[in-house]
Structure 1
Amino acid sequence: MSPHQQWKEFADIDTLTCKQGHLLLQKLDGNPSCVLPFTYLKLVQRGYGNYDESIMNKHPEMMNTLMQNMVSNQNIMYHWHEMMQKNPRIMMDTMDHWVSQMKNNPELLKNILGPMTSDPQLREKMIDTMKNHPHMENYLKMNSKWMDSIHHQMMNPEMDQGMHQSTCSWCPDYHMYATQGNSMGYGSDRIMDMIHNMWINSEMSRDLNTIMLENPSHMAHMSEQMMEPMLNAIMDDEDLRQQMIDLMLEHQDFMNSIRHNNPETVH
């Protein structure tokens, strides 16, 4: 039964359902509609309907679908990252939450480190961040495997020509996570109101931050904007720091970047 048919029969927005993957939007004229997430954001942006937290609270699967779509949108998440950077307490809480999640699920650590170690520009920024960390250099010097590896001959002279997934067996293929809607301007007041409503809702905010960590493509874009707090949170934790070193040692292109005869060395 379509949402319009349901509306005629029940006239209660709380009883309406949409097929999987669609979101329920009550338009400004009062009529309900089930739309795809991208369309939902587009309609909210253009003022044909408003983000309704009460509807989403009653349909958690729709809220999750909306958040997944938001995390795949660079423009929307740019604003979210900016708010994090302007709020040190939220930033610290988010990084602490991520550290806890990564320690429980090591695969999540790969979502952050995979793009950083594989993309040449992010890799250079990552090495600089490691250099600037107050203790990382000493940790690396005390790691015999690391010190032995950086003096090895470079394995692949044709490096830094782009992504080399074949040289990293553990890196997630973050290109499979499609980025949607980046051509649209999502800085409208209506979209910003939606973002703000989620921001001030601690449960929603934490859910969105969790989805961010689960999306390696988003981690790549986030690293461009705020790598230092992300990487420092990992390097400050003893267990994650060791896992980070182990993963770097397995990444051929990354290790080539810091070999003893490379100007980017951190030894």
Structure 2
Amino acid sequence: MSPHHQWKNMADPDTITCKSGHLLLQKNDGTPTCVMPSTYLILIDRGFGNYDSSIMSKRPEMMNQLMQNMVSNEKLMHHWHEMMQKNPIIMMNTMNDWISQMKVNPEFMKNILGPMASDPQLREKMIQAMKKHSHMENSLKMHSAWMDSVHHPMMKSGMHSSSCSWCPSYKMDSSSPSTGFSNSDRIMDVMHELWVNSGISYEIHQLMIQNPSHMSKMSEQMMNPILDSIMDDEDLRRQMIELLLEHPEFMNSIRHSETNTDH
């Protein structure tokens, strides 16, 4: 039964359902409709319907699909990252949470460091950040495998080298940071409503760190606070060094940059 017929025949609107994979959207005239996640935000942007937190809060599966769709939208996430950077408390809480997760699941650190180490420009910024971090610099000097590798002949190039198990090819987004919607105000209203909901913000941040493709898009915006948080922690600092030792492109860059230094 279509959502419109359900709405006509049922006294309780909370009982309206959509087929799997679709989101329930309330149109401007108050009637419900079911749409694909990729269409949901477009229709809101065009003024066809409105985001209703009460609808989504009672339908966790739909809320999760909406968040997944938003995290995969690089324009929206660019704005989300900017909001994070402008809010020191949110930024600190997010970094602390990510640090805790990286200690439990090393895959999260791979998702974060992979895009940085794989992009030539970000890689150079990453190297400079490591040199400026006194604890990291000392850890590198005391790490025998790192020092041996720095003076070793260049490793085989190529992101898919068998010597690196976590070096997928990442494409950095260099397009305009606009949201890509015709009426960004409506979409920003949705973003801000989700932002002020601490529970939803937390879940979106969980999706971010689990998505390597998303992390590749946020690396440039948030590289410094992410790297500082990792390098400030002794255990994660050691884990970071071990991961970078497996990355041929990164280590070759270090060898080039270190040839005229005390290393």
| Common fold: TM-score over 0.5 | yes
Equivalent residue, structure 1, for 2:160: 165
For 2:42, give the aligned amino acid.
K
Equivalent residue, structure 2, for 1:201: 197
CA distance in 1, matches of 2:130, 2:183: 34
Aligned pair 1:252/2:248, yes or no? yes
Asked whether the equivalents of residues 118 and 170 of structure 2 are also in contact (C-alpha less than 8 Å), the reply is no
1:216 offset after TM fit, Å?
A: 0.8
Equivalent residue, structure 1, for 2:175: none
SS in 2 for 1:191: helix
For 2:201, give the aligned amino acid.
S
SS in 1 for 2:34: strand
Asked whether the equivalents of residues 42 and 181 of structure 2 are also in contact (C-alpha less than 8 Å), the reply is no
For 1:90, give the aligned amino acid.
I
Asked whether the equivalents of residues 159 and 248 of structure 2 are also in contact (C-alpha less than 8 Å), the reply is no
- State the TM-score, normalized to the length of structure 2: 0.90
Alignment deviations for residues 138-183 of structure 1 (CA, whole Å, 9 cap, x no partner): 1100111111110001123xx5xxx7233521235667xxxxxx98
SS in 1 for 2:25: strand
Asked whether the equivalents of residues 259 and 265 of structure 1 are also in contact (C-alpha less than 8 Å), the reply is no
Equivalent residue, structure 2, for 1:16: 16
CA distance in 2, matches of 1:265, 1:3: 68
SS in 2 for 1:135: helix
In structure 2, the CA distance between the partners of 1:15 and 1:21, relative to structure 1 (3 Å rule), is same
- State the TM-score, normalized to the length of structure 1: 0.89
Aligned pair 1:212/2:179, yes or no? no
For 2:23, give the aligned amino acid.
L
Alignment deviations for residues 94-119 of structure 1 (CA, whole Å, 9 cap, x no partner): 00000111111111111101111112
1:250 offset after TM fit, Å?
A: 0.8
Aligned pair 1:141/2:153, yes or no? no
Equivalent residue, structure 2, for 1:237: 233
Asked whether the equivalents of residues 80 and 191 of structure 2 are also in contact (C-alpha less than 8 Å), the reply is yes
In structure 2, the CA distance between the partners of 1:195 and 1:263, relative to structure 1 (3 Å rule), is farther
Asked whether the equivalents of residues 115 and 215 of structure 2 are also in contact (C-alpha less than 8 Å), the reply is yes
Alignment identity in percent?
66
Aligned pair 1:228/2:236, yes or no? no
1:238 offset after TM fit, Å?
A: 1.4
Of 178, 181, 185, the residue aligned with 1:189 is 185
1:240 offset after TM fit, Å?
A: 1.2
Q: Which moved more, 1:83-92 or 1:132-141?
A: 132-141
CA distance in 1, matches of 2:186, 2:101: 32
5 Å-filtered alignment, 1:1-267, equals 1-156=1-156, 159=157, 164-166=159-161, 168-171=164-167, 184-185=180-181, 188-259=184-255, 267=263
